[in-house]
Amino acid sequence: MAELNEHYDVVIVGGAMMGSSTAWWLSREPGFDGSVLVVERDPSYEHSSTSATNSCVRQQFSNEVNIRISQFTAEFIRTFPSWFDGADVPELATNYFGYLYLAADPAFAHLLEANQQLQASWGAATRILDRDELAVAFPFYNLDDIVCGSHNPVDEGYFDGGTMFDTFRTHAQRNGVTYHQATVTGIDQRDGRVVGVTLDSGASISCGTVVNAAGPRAARVAQMAGLELPVEPRKRFTYVFQAAEPLDQPLPLTIDPSGVHVR
C-alpha cells in the first residue's frame, strides 16, 4: 500500500473504470502537474459495476452531447494503443454488429424516427427498418408485435472493457497517480468548498478537488458533501447461454420492447 501524503490536489473516490479513466486523463494532461489520489475500497474490483459491465458503445441517443461523446469513444477505441506511451498496450477487441432497438407501438416508432434524424445530422449511420425489412435482415426474430426497428452497424456493439480498464489503471500509476485501499467516510468543507476527505482509518487528507466516481454508491458520497444525487443501485441480471442451433449471421445487440436485451 502506497504511503499517503497529507495533501493531494485531486482525490478521486472510486478506482474502477470511471475513477481510473479520470486519473489517467488527468495524469497525461499537459496543463495539469498536480498530485492525484485514487481511494478504492475494494482493489480486487470483484463487486464493482466495471467487473459486471457488458462494455457496450452506441450512438443511438436522443441528444447531441451523448451522440458526440460516443463518436469520440468509438474513435478512442479504434486508436487505443496510440494514446499510450510504450509498446505494451494491445488493440482492443471489438464486436461491432450494431444496436437494434425494436418498437412495438407507433409512439415509440415515432421516437426512434426522431432520434434517427438527430443521429444522422451528426453523422451516425442509424437507419429505420420497417417490419418487412427487419424480417429480411434478421429472419430469426419473431416480429408479430413489432412495428419497426432502429439499427446502426457502424461503431456500435461491444468491446474489451476489461483491457481498457486495466490499461487506464496501470498507466495512471506509471504517471504518478497514487492508489490507496480505503473507504471515504466523510468530505470536509470550509466556506462552502471541499477541502479534504476523511478515510475509514481516521486519516484526513486535504485536497483541492474531490471527484465522485463511486458508481452506484455515488449518492452516498454526494450526501457527505450535503448534495442529493439521483443515482441509486438497481439489480440487473446477465445470463450466458448457448443456442441449440447457432445463428448463421452475427446478432446485433437487440433491445426488445419488454426491456430485455440480447447480444
pLDDT in tens, 97-147: 999 999 999 999 999 999 999 999 999 999 999 999 999 999 999 999 999
Domain with CATH 3.30.9 in the chain: 64-159+235-262
Given pLDDT bands bounded at 50, 70 and 90, which one contains residue 243?
A: confident
Long-range contacts of 160-165 (CB under 8 A, 24+ apart): 160/55, 160/92, 160/93, 160/94, 161/17, 161/50, 161/53, 161/55, 162/55, 163/90, 163/92, 163/93, 164/17, 164/55, 164/77, 164/80, 164/92, 165/16, 165/17, 165/20, 165/50
Exposure letters 218-247 (e unless 16+ CB within 10 A, then b): bbebbebbeeeeeeeeeeeeeeeeeeeeee
Asked whether the predicted pLDDT for residue 1 surpasses 60, the reply is: no
Domain with CATH 3.50.50.60 in the chain: 7-55+161-224
Q: Quick one: what percent of the chain has pLDDT higher than 90? A: 84
Q: How far apart are the first and last CA of the chain?
A: 40
Whole-number pLDDT of residue 88 = 86
Asked whether the predicted pLDDT for residue 56 surpasses 70, the reply is: yes
Whole-number pLDDT of residue 246 = 87
- Domain 7-55+161-224: assigned CATH number: 3.50.50.60
Whole-number pLDDT of residue 238 = 86
Whole-number pLDDT of residue 47 = 86
User: Which residue in this structure is represented by grid cell 470483484?
Assistant: 46
Give the SS3 label for residue 51.
Answer: helix
pTM of the model: 0.91
Q: Which residues pair with 190 in a beta bridge?
A: 193
Which H/E stretch holds residue 17? helix 17-28
Asked whether the predicted pLDDT for residue 32 surpasses 90, the reply is: yes
- Domain 64-159+235-262: assigned CATH number: 3.30.9
Give the SS3 label for residue 155.
Answer: coil
Give the SS3 label for residue 79.
Answer: coil
Q: What's the whole-number mean pLDDT along residues 216-242?
A: 91
CA 210 to CA 207: how far, in whole Å?
7
Whole-number pLDDT of residue 2 = 64
CA 176 to CA 35: how far, in whole Å?
8
Whole-number pLDDT of residue 233 = 86
Q: Are strands 36-40 and 178-181 parallel, antiparallel or unpaired?
A: parallel
Whole-number pLDDT of residue 21 = 98
Mean pLDDT of the chain: 94
pLDDT digits (tens, 9 = 90+) for 159-186: 999 999 999 999 999 999 999 999 999 9
